[in-house]
Amino acid sequence: MRRIDYIESPRALLTPDVVALLTSIHEHKGKQELFIEAHADALATLVKVARIQSTGASNRIEGVNTTDKRLAELVRDKSAPRDRTEQEIAGYRDALALIHESYDYLRPRPRDILQLHRLLYSFSASSQGGVYKSHDNFIAEVDTIGIESVRFKPVPADQTPHAMDSLCDKFIQAEDNGTYDPLILIPMFILDFLCIHPFNDGNGRMSRLLTLLLLYRAGYLVGKYVSIEKLIESSKETYYEALQASSVGWHRNCNDNLPFVRYCLGIVHKASGEFERRVEHVGQKGLSKPDRVAAVIDQRIGTFTKREVMELCPDISQVTVERTLAELMRQGRLVKVGGGRSAAYARAGTVH
């Protein structure tokens, strides 16, 4: 039977590369606090954009999709859901909003986790929201010829309440003890949560909501301004590989947490760097939106895509970005590389 341990196990994770990542993230955190204080008004736009991106990405990872227009309406305007897909999106929207607004009052306790799961399914007619799984579940994978096999068997349903009590108690004890950096403990908690797989449905989305909650509680607020869920979506193959590598031997207490911890720290580190790049452009006062787009492009090295420019200017519409790119090409300052969906751009004279 699995023995949850956040007292001895974390020590083995402090490898040189992990310590280097932790040091860099801590440095970014200090800068972020200064940015947040200096650019509070400008950052409100980043929060709105990140909520839309987070809600869309976390649901897309689970195969729940809608149009960009409808996603924005659901999250930004709190539009009422029209179908089952939109019910799941609206539930994530509200659970994410609760974390953004009340993370100081939520702890990784069973009752708070069940509350978040209940909110996740608050628009659904299903009674599964806010209750642990009623039957044993398993994580399957399908090979290249379509044959399904069991990749991992989580904790049985009848043992789940006890496993969740132990998970939360052990984490809170380690958090309160303060021996280890929360950035080490958080990925361990999320890995154990996913291996328990406590719900019939929604475990993946809950893991991402809990990641944000624990990061916010530890003072790492970058996920409010840069969508961590979107970064996970863009690297989901690596995510699943790390999860697989760290879950082998989990039931026998001989798994290796390091691959998943490295992956999670890499995501937080990338989000931190992205935040600093975005806040630099959002905080540019006195520049028109086209001029801000042009300033972003002037700092690019090599080729870049329209989407990359839009991600650095999340408060600027796609139409404005497209018009600015066209105008810079007309002026001879920019050249187009390739065509169609693979089209990219480069500053004139930088490609041969």
Instruction: Encode pLDDT of 68-84 as tens digits.
Output: 889 989 998 788 899 99
Closest by CA to 181, choosing from 3, 20, 1, is: 20
Q: Name the class of domain 9-281.
A: mainly alpha
* pLDDT over 90 at 260, yes or no: yes
pLDDT, mean of residues 300-305: 79
**Between vectors from CA 191 to CA 205 and to CA 231, what angle results, nearest 5°?**
50
Q: If pLDDT is split at 50, 70 and 90, which confidence band does 315 have?
A: confident
| Ordered alpha helix ranges (H), the chain | 16-38, 40-61, 68-76, 84-102, 110-120, 160-177, 182-196, 203-217, 228-234, 236-247, 258-282, 289-298, 306-312, 318-330
Q: Name the class of domain 285-347.
A: mainly alpha
In a 10 Å sphere around its CB, with 0-12 CB exposed, 13-18 middle and 19+ buried, how is residue 277 labelled? middle
What's the pLDDT score for residue 131? 96
* pLDDT over 90 at 166, yes or no: yes
* pLDDT over 80 at 287, yes or no: no
Domain boundaries, the chain: 9-281, 285-347
pLDDT, mean of residues 78-99: 94
What's the pLDDT score for residue 281? 65
Q: Are 206 and 42 in contact (CB under 8 A)?
A: no
Residue 207 CA to residue 213 CA, distance in Å, equals: 10
> Is 337 strand, coil or helix?
strand
Instruction: Encode pLDDT of 108-128 as tens digits.
Output: 999 999 999 999 999 988 778
